[in-house]
Chain A
Amino acid sequence: MIFKSLLRACLACLFLSLCTPAFAQADSKALLDSLADANFKQAEEIVGQLAASGDPRVVPALEAFAEGDLYARKSDDAVFITQAAGSKLALIDPLSGESAGEVAKGAMSKIRVNNNLRRVIRSALGGLTLLSPDRNTRLQAASAVLASPSAENLDLVEAALERETDPEVKARMVEARAVSLLSSDRPPEAKREAIETIASLGGRNAIGILMSSAGTLDPSLQEDLDAAIARLESKLAFWDMAQNVWYGVSLGSVLLLAAIGLAITFGVMGIINMAHGEMVMLGAYSTFVVQDVIRSNAPQLFDWSLPIALPVAFLVTALVGLAIERGVIRFLYGRPLETLLATWGISLILQQAIRSIFGPTNQEVGNPSWMSGSFALGGMTVTWNRMWIIVFSLTIFFALLALMKRSAFGLQMRAVTQNRRMASSMGIRTPWVDAFTFALGSGIAGIAGVALSQIDNVSPNLGQSYIIDSFMVVVFGGVGNLWGTLVGALTLGVLNKFLEPSVGAVLGKILVLVLIILFIQKRPRGLFALKGRAVEA
């Protein structure tokens, strides 16, 4: 056994020493040309030999072969890479990459390729590029071997591994080696190690590799294999769970954003503002307008468009909110059902106004560069926009909490909502506190709109899709309690995402609605209800 592996190592060294360009050139050329009249079986062998040659110059030819762009000239069986050029074919020398003129299609015959052959080509390519002087090419090649393991690559991988100095590439090659080793005829000890290495990779892919080698391995390894698979699966289940929680928190943060303004207008002031969703929508359209202005006047500022849009959206919606409170709602205090109807009317008007100005279609709101892309965290993927929205919604939440608890305005606001007459007799101008509180709630809805424009379609109907959810969050969390809104939003978000995989998105949402309806029967005042006589008045 040991002798055998020694021999393999020697052979690998031999390959490498053979890789002198002059020697390989003639060889590679001949091998390529021999493809012209090879059948699939022979072609596989030739590709194997090309791979074994270690000559990196055959890479383009092999790639063209896999794509079906490799043709043989009928007259002399010379093989070329081709490109369609009108009715003719442009010829490219397979090794040098130089142009070799154009010929009519009839003069060439295509070297046929099938899926089996393609797989062989891919693994050959993986092996070949392992030795490339370019670090990124080597990394890609190692990943390619990892993705389609084959025992044939083993020697090459090991040879490459020996020469490798870059730690990242090296780590990837170790994994690639382990994967290839599993299907080779190496001794069980080596394979046991390989199983460990693969298991440490994690993910569904590793399970797949281990599963596929289940029957082919020495029986003594079966136990290790099963244990490794079980370990991987439990880890996977954990990350699945973590990913679900993450999605849930992410949805929860969206709900929180939508509901947080409502927690002020409905929760604190007791105003049923059915136009709340339209405030969110106005915030999103403010973002669109800001981006539009930036695009046409100062495109270099585009990454700053969201920070610029925030105060704009806040001001716009706060002003609209102020106008609504002064113009309509203040006449309806103490008549919640009438307020509900009037604000519904306002929401219809706002929707139609936006539709008249911007048209009924979705508006394009772009993501700044720092909002795009994603990163991996352990076994789960985290997109930057979701990440920032969670951070953003929590920031708003705590800022609002601080404003309510610490500032003079917050004190006045609480005083007015708790005892209007007493507050007014202490010199607080209650009408203005009402107006500004409502404007604040609306402004926050506008800010939420800026964030939601990043993940949702910006259309006149944007608000409608959030209004019921927002009310559910506030009612579920407990009216008049900001913490309740936070807990309510996150609970509903996570609950939704955990129901989704088993029952589907729509049914999940329906179930959540039904659960909330039942919950309200049980605790009509929500999760964090205020108790006592005062509440019932």
Chain B
Amino acid sequence: MAKIAETRSKSLLYLDGVSVSFDGFKALNSLSFVVEPGELRAIIGPNGAGKTTMMDIITGKTRPDSGTVLFEDSIDLTKRDEADIAQLGIGRKFQKPTVFESHTVWDNLELALNRSRGVFATLFYRLSGEDRDRIEEILSTIRLTHRKTELAANLSHGQKQWLEIGMLLAQEPKLLLVDEPVAGMTDAETAETAILLRDIARTRSVVVVEHDMGFIRDLGVKVTCLAEGSVLAEGSIDFVSNDPKVIENYLGR
């Protein structure tokens, strides 16, 4: 009892006994999962294991049928909607890179910047010097400075992934959920992305969902393996990849 209370008070994100089903199909089955502040965590699991559904629940897109979802130990995320949760400091990158294609790279970042997001605040917003510096800084982090005036639609697939990560950075979240960041990237891009994510994780918590085992090995962090809506194993990559249940459910297939 005391131990649970202790993990809770330290946690940034705390999921306990979360279940959700769609038309009888149990997408999450009593899932429990804790992320600590400043932690970089990788999640693996076969298709349909509930990885994306878990992210949907954390970000308020889907409501769980039962269970607790707490942010910073006190905020009940099941009562908030997406915009609220984003403003609380949870950023999310989608599986398919989603950027504003008809805006320039610069505008994409300007929109993502963590400033007042009300109707009138945005109507009368003027770019300040401080904001400009911040955008330039992010541009160099995601290596897109030379393409800042171009439409996002003209970027390569990998660059769009980075731009989306850059937008999350501009959002200044406490927790970053990243869904398959290296899908469709070249090996060089993948390696660079691993560096980028480790960089980011120095100042905030990051949860990465990925299939690419090499990439996860590159990250070198604690791994959680999901299957059929609940946690199968948790630990270092070597520990998890040697777990017989994981091999049977995921790696062996």
Contacts and interface: CB of A to CB of B under 8 A. Distances in A.
Direct touching of A and B (C-beta under 8 Å): yes
Interface of A: 530-533
B52 interface: yes
A530 B24 CA distance: 12
Contacts of B52: 533
Nearest to A537: B96
A57 B23 CA distance: 80
Contacts of B205: none
B124 interface: no
A533 B21 CA distance: 11
Given A532-B22, A533-B52, 9 more contacts: A530-B23, A531-B22, A531-B23, A532-B23, A532-B25, A533-B22, A533-B27, A533-B53, A533-B56
Contacts of B22: 531-533
Contacts of A532: 22-23, 25
Nearest to A536: B61
A530 B22 CA distance: 9
For chain B, what secondary structure do more than half of its interface residues adopt (helix, strand, loop), or is it mixed?
A: mixed
Interface string B48-83: 000011001000000000000000000000000000
Interface of B: 22-23, 25, 27, 52-53, 56
A34 B53 CA distance: 101
Nearest to B62: A533
A531 B25 CA distance: 10
A530 B23 CA distance: 8
A533 B53 CA distance: 8
11 contacts: A530-B23, A531-B22, A531-B23, A532-B22, A532-B23, A532-B25, A533-B22, A533-B27, A533-B52, A533-B53, A533-B56
Nearest to A534: B22
Contacts of A530: 23
A481 to B, nearest CB: 12
A531 B53 CA distance: 13
A530 B52 CA distance: 19
A531 B21 CA distance: 10
A533 B94 CA distance: 14
A353 B22 CA distance: 48
Contacts of B23: 530-532
A528 to B, nearest CB: 11
A480 B225 CA distance: 36
B183 to A, nearest CB: 16
A533 B56 CA distance: 10
B45 to A, nearest CB: 15
Closest 7 CB pairs of A and B: A532-B22, A531-B22, A531-B23, A532-B23, A533-B22, A533-B53, A533-B52
A531 B56 CA distance: 14
Contacts of B56: 533
A435 B181 CA distance: 39
B22, B27, B52, B56 — most chain A CB neighbours (10 Å): B22
Nearest to A530: B23
Contacts of A533: 22, 27, 52-53, 56
A271 B59 CA distance: 32
Contacts of B25: 532
Contacts of B27: 533
A230 to B, nearest CB: 50
A530 B53 CA distance: 17
A533 B57 CA distance: 12
A80 to B, nearest CB: 87
A532 B62 CA distance: 9
B95 to A, nearest CB: 11
A532 B56 CA distance: 12
Contacts of B53: 533
Nearest to B53: A533
A393 B162 CA distance: 56
Nearest to A535: B22
A370 B91 CA distance: 69
B168 to A, nearest CB: 21
Nearest to B25: A532
B151 to A, nearest CB: 21
A204 to B, nearest CB: 51
A532 B22 CA distance: 5
B47 to A, nearest CB: 12
A532 to B, nearest CB: 4
A521 to B, nearest CB: 16
A531 B65 CA distance: 14
A301 to B, nearest CB: 51
B209 to A, nearest CB: 15
Nearest to B22: A532
A532 B24 CA distance: 10
B18 to A, nearest CB: 16
A533 B22 CA distance: 8
A509 B15 CA distance: 49
Contacts of A531: 22-23
A397 B51 CA distance: 41
A18 to B, nearest CB: 86
A348 B22 CA distance: 42
A531 B23 CA distance: 6
